[in-house]
Amino acid sequence: MTSVPDPIRVLIAEDHTIVRQGLRALLASERGIQIVGEAADGHEALAAVVRLRPHVVLMDLAMPGLNGVDATRRIKQESPETAVLILSMHAAEEHVRPAVRAGAAGYLLKGSGLSDLVLAIRAVAAGEAFLSPAVAKILLRDA
pTM across the whole model: 0.92
Predicted confidence at residue 94, as pLDDT, reads 82
Kindly state the percentage of the chain with pLDDT values over 90: 79
Question: How confident is the model over 21-58, as pLDDT tens digits?
Answer: 999 999 999 999 999 999 999 999 999 999 999 999 99
Q: Where are the alpha helices (DSSP H) in the chain?
A: 17-28, 42-52, 68-78, 93-102, 114-125, 133-141
The closest alpha carbon to 116, from 5, 49, 26, 53, belongs to 26
Predicted confidence at residue 133, as pLDDT, reads 84
pLDDT at 104 over 90: yes
Predicted confidence at residue 91, as pLDDT, reads 82
**CA atoms in the 13 A half-sphere facing the CB of 8:** 29
The closest alpha carbon to 132, from 102, 89, 94, belongs to 89
